[in-house]
Amino acid sequence: MNKVLLENIIKHILANLAIIPEPYVNYAKTKSLVSKEFLLPETLSFETESGEIFKNQIWGCQISADQQELKILLGDCSQIKEIPEYCLIVQLKNAPAYGMYLVYPDHTYAAEGMNSEALLACTMDGTDWMICQTYLQATFLAGMEQIKDMGMAWNKCSDYQDQYRLMTSFIKYHHNIYEAKYEGQED
The per-residue pLDDT for range 71-105, each reduced to its tens digit, is: 999 999 998 878 899 999 999 998 999 999 999 87
pLDDT value at residue 152: 65
Say what the pTM is: 0.89
Confidence of residue 53 (pLDDT cuts 50, 70, 90): confident
Phi and psi at residue 7, in whole multiples of 5°? -60, -40
Mean pLDDT of 65-76: 90
HEC profile of the chain: CCHHHHHHHHHHHHHHCCCCCCCCCCCCCCCCCCCHHHEEEEEEEEECCCCCEEEEEEEEEEEEECCEEEEEEEEECCCECCECEEEEEEEECCCCEEEEEEECCCHHHHHCCCCCCCEEEEECCCCCEEECCHHHHHHHHHHHHHHHHHCCCCEECCCCHHHHHHHHHHHHHHHHHHHHHHCCCCC
Mean pLDDT of 39-51: 88
If phi over 0 gives left and psi between -120 and 50 gives alpha, with beta otherwise, what is residue 11? alpha
Q: Which of 20-29, 36-45, 76-85, 107-116 has the lowest mean pLDDT?
A: 107-116
Instruction: Tell me how far apart the alpha carbons of residues 3 and 91 are, in angstroms, rounded to a whole number.
Output: 23
Per the model's pLDDT, the better-predicted residue between 87 and 66 turns out to be: 87
pLDDT tens by residue, 155-180: 999 999 999 999 999 999 999 998 86
pLDDT value at residue 180: 65
Name the pairing type of β-strands 129-131 and 97-103. Answer: unpaired
